[in-house]
Amino acid sequence: MTDTSPRRRIPAIRRGLWWAADYFYAGRRQLAVLTPPWTIGRPRPVPDGWQAGDAALPEIVLVPGVYEHWTFLRPLGDALAARGHRVTVVHGLGMNRRSIPATGERLARLLASRPAPSAGRVIVAHSKGGLIGKSVLVAAENGEATGDLLGVVAIATPFGGSRRAALFVDPSIRAFLPRNETIVALGQASGVNGRIVSVFGPYDPHILEGSALVGATNVEVTTAGHFRVLGAASTHEAAIDGVRHLAAVARQSPGP
């Protein structure tokens, strides 16, 4: 399950085609956020089937990336629910533009306030969501209550930051610069990396540095892109396997 292959050179034409397909996919998923006018301001309910899972399997908490509503991750949630997992989301994040520390604290409080499932929980996240998930793992390592969190499956997450963030003026994007204080601090918190499964494709136009994380379980799937990778069957399988792996690691770990 761990990928250790070197990053390979990809022809510019292929990268351009992948980039175009990536933004086409992202545009389609963003349209899914649109709701009738009379529902604006109300939380979007999760699909009924998402809460009908097996209590013996870890509960899944979906955390989207910046400028993403949780519905952006619906294909991933559907795949996890189809395999028997209960799937939940965090309402009130909006388009996830708050800082990583602030959102991580909010998520940790929310998880701690809910009864912990006997099988534990796993955060399955995209991009910035993976950094938020790692911040919650760090909080748990420091003794904070986080609702029996087993680990994080992070998809296309800039663990080392992204130099492409320098092209933007929006502070919520520039927060991903490699020298950003939060990115540096999370990078130094390597003690939790063994509880992270990082999933990524062969090319991500937003994270030229890649998403591989030292000490984590790194999985390269066949679909390229920062967004399109979310809809790939290989990514869904990697996420399902990642949740299974984190549950097994938790079972093997000595109790407190």
Q: For residue 243, list its beta bridge partners.
A: none
Distances in whole angstroms, Cα of residue 103 to Cα of each of 2, 98, 134, 171, 181? 29, 6, 11, 15, 16
Residue spans per domain, the chain: 12-252
Per-residue pLDDT averaged across 110-130, rounded?
94
Closest to 162 in 3D by CA, of 148, 179, 138: 179
- pLDDT digits 0-9 by tens, 47-68: 888 988 899 999 999 999 998 8
Instruction: Check residue 191 and give its pLDDT.
Output: 95
- pLDDT digits 0-9 by tens, 170-226: 999 999 999 999 999 999 999 999 999 999 999 999 999 999 999 999 999 999 999
- pLDDT digits 0-9 by tens, 21-31: 777 677 777 77
Q: H helices within the chain, ranges in order? A: 12-31, 74-82, 100-113, 128-141, 171-174, 181-188, 233-252
Whether domain 12-252 has CATH 3.40.50.1820: the reply is yes
Confidence of residue 11 (pLDDT cuts 50, 70, 90): confident
